[in-house]
Structure 1
Amino acid sequence: MTDQVDHQVTIEDLAELMKRSAGVSVDPLILEEEAGSGWDTFGLDSLGLLGIVAELEKRHGTGLPEQMERCTTPEEFLAVVNGALAKGA
């Protein structure tokens, strides 16, 4: 089975979540290239990040660590969320 793969959040997923939950459109290729940059580089603020976290919790049916809200870059965010989802899988 591929349960763990199904639980991984990709750059493409994050770009989609940014658009749907925060109204911020970012090309996934640019997001990947600039993944170590701060959220403000992409026009995302803390409320937008909270919306993304809420959507992920709803989508995966689980609470995610509070430290996700303190992630300062997409790269850090994906590492934390995918680590949490892998532990919960």
Structure 2
Amino acid sequence: MHTELTYAELASLMERRAGVIVDPADLELQSDTPFADFGLDSLGLLGIVGALENEHGATIPADADACRTPRELLDVVNDVLKARA
């Protein structure tokens, strides 16, 4: 079972679910930068959270769509995935 969401996977989700193209290396280097600075709005983030739930069969906490930065989202999602492992 996959137990960790990576910056590369998050970048791919951002592109597929919200049309926001970001280099995974830049996303990781700027992981404390607000999603808005990458061009991702709250609806895009909500779509990403929904996709993560569907792909991993896990319930992501309701406040995950309030995460402001990539690092915050990865922390929340990875905590859930690791707990399920």
Aligned pair 1:16/2:20, yes or no? no
58-67 vs 11-20, which deviates more?
A: 58-67
* Distance in 2 (alpha carbons) for counterparts of 1:41 and 1:30: 12
Runs of 4+ in 1 over 6 A off after TM superposition: none
Q: Percent identity?
A: 48
Moved more, 60-69 or 22-31: 60-69
Which entry has the higher C-alpha Rg, 1 or 2? 1
Letter in 2 for 1:30: D
The aligned residue for residue 84 of structure 2 is 88
For structure 2, the residue ranges without an aligned partner over 5 or more in a row are none
Instruction: After TM superposition, give the deviation of residue 7 of structure 1 in Å.
Output: 2.1
SS in 1 for 2:49: helix
Superposition map of 1:26-37 within 5 A: 26-37=22-33
- 1:36-55 equivalences under 5 Å are 36-55=32-51
CA distance in 1, matches of 2:83, 2:17: 25
User: How many residues in Structure 1 have an aligned counterpart in Structure 2?
Assistant: 85
Runs of 5+ unmatched residues, structure 1: none
Please, what TM-score do these two structures have when normalized by structure 1?
A: 0.91
Residues 5-37 of structure 1: CA deviation (Å, up to 9, x unaligned): x22100000000000011100001111111001
- Aligned alpha-carbon RMSD (Å): 0.8
